[in-house]
Amino acid sequence: MGTRHRAWAEIDLAAFRHNLRETRELAGRAEVWPVLKANAYGHGAVPLARACESAGVRRIGVGDSGEALQLREAGIGTPLLVLGTVIEAEVPHLLDHGIEVGVHSESRVRKLGALARMRGRRLGVHLKIDTGMARLGVRPVAALRVARAILEEPELELRGLMTHYAAPDGCLDPFTEVQARAFQEVLVELRQAGVPIPAVHGANSATLFTGLRPLGDAVRPGIALYGVLPTGLPGAERLRPVLSLRAQVVYLKDIPAGTSVGYGGRWTSSRPTRLAVLPLGYNDGLPFRLGAEGRGVALLRGQRCPIVGAISMDYCTVDVTRADGVGVGDTATLIGADGGETVSVQEVAEAAGTIPYEITCSIGSRVPRVALHAEAPLAAAAN
């Protein structure tokens, strides 16, 4: 008997809570501010935000204003910080919901101050320093000037100083030390000038797990909370995967040798073959590249079965000839465990020639996220 979903993603909230405990242990006295941007890296932001709230998390990071407002509309009351930039039309909504924003230039500071005055509200801001990412943020030479501009705007409240590290390998890359030194120099300059800085934060998953020091007042882990670390980083064994991607078999087809399968006939059977059709394609997070011969697998009845033929928008085909007893309605696992076999996010990413972040973030909106173990909230912790 199949499930009520054609394809679905299981989100293990117990694993998420475990990963949160592990990052808190690594962070020591620093607070952990989970990053739930991009729909919590494709995992579903609302249930994970609720898990964070029950755990006593003091701030949550998001990518843009829409994500922050979605959490507010879902009843999340934890302070929210938009780590990216905002546009003018979004600011009144952020002010109304008490959402903090990152600032990246003096001109943006002045505009935010004017909008806050018009709205009659105060806006919490975090000054972002570009220490080497060369994306958003104030260059160190301009940091003091922009910080003073924030203090000159009575409707703005400086709540933090932040940066973002560029190296996927964290502190294993010497450039991280260059960035950390530049950030500390800005911090010293601002404090010597009398600028009050309530919170200093910069560490992401990679730098946290590779021993960045000092960590400051808070860290902002993202991918580690979902049980994934960039390949080769220490500490992956401490984490538990949060997401599994599954689909039910909707059709079985027996084909003779010499039959081409899928768009473009990219794969041809060399023997009589039994195919299982799964209602999951590249719109649902299954990378098109997995359709190349030998790259992608699905687990059925505890067996690794190769994906054959081109992956289409809505479907893929799997060779289940050697998996005895597969029937319509059986569950196929594209990410996750089945019996003694596992397909990890990292394995899928490597097979597709990309990074784990892209795999989880690309799982489409028509794939329901099914939360597991929601009934056991983590007791509130000190940070």
Q: Could you tell me where the DSSP H helices lie in 28-77?
A: 37-41, 45-54, 65-73
- Successive 10-residue mean pLDDT values, the chain, 383 residues: 82 98 98 98 98 97 98 98 95 97 96 96 98 96 98 98 97 98 98 98 98 97 95 91 98 97 94 98 95 89 96 97 96 97 96 95 96 62 38
Reference 320, options 308, 334, 312, 335; nearest CA is: 308
The two tokens of residue 142 are 């301009």
d(CA 309, CA 36): 35
d(CA 356, CA 261): 28
d(CA 40, CA 222): 8
Residues in Cβ contact with 75 at an 8 Å cutoff, skipping those fewer than 6 apart: none
Fold for the domain defined by 243-372: Lyase, Ornithine Decarboxylase; Chain A, domain 1 (2.40.37)
User: Tokens 């249930």, residue?
Assistant: 47
Q: What is the pLDDT of residue 334?
A: 98
Contact between residue 273 and residue 307 where contact means Cβ atoms under 8 Å apart: no
| Domain range 33-225, its CATH number among 1.10.287.1770, 3.65.10.10, 3.20.20.10, 3.90.1170.50 | 3.20.20.10
Can you state the angle between helices 13-27 and 45-54, rounded to 10 degrees? 50
How far, in whole angstroms, is CA 212 from its chain's centroid?
Answer: 21
The two tokens of residue 104 are 């990246």
Q: What is the pLDDT of residue 3?
A: 67
Cα three-residue angle 36-40-41, rounded to 5 degrees: 120
Catalytic residues: 37, 263
d(CA 209, CA 169): 10
d(CA 186, CA 192): 10
- Statement: the pTM of the whole predicted model exceeds 0.85: yes
Contact between residue 307 and residue 293 where contact means Cβ atoms under 8 Å apart: no
Domains of the chain by residue range: 33-225, 243-372
Give backbone dihedrals phi and psi of 66, rounded to 5 degrees, phi first.
-60, -40
Q: What is the pLDDT of residue 294?
A: 75
Q: What is the pLDDT of residue 104?
A: 94
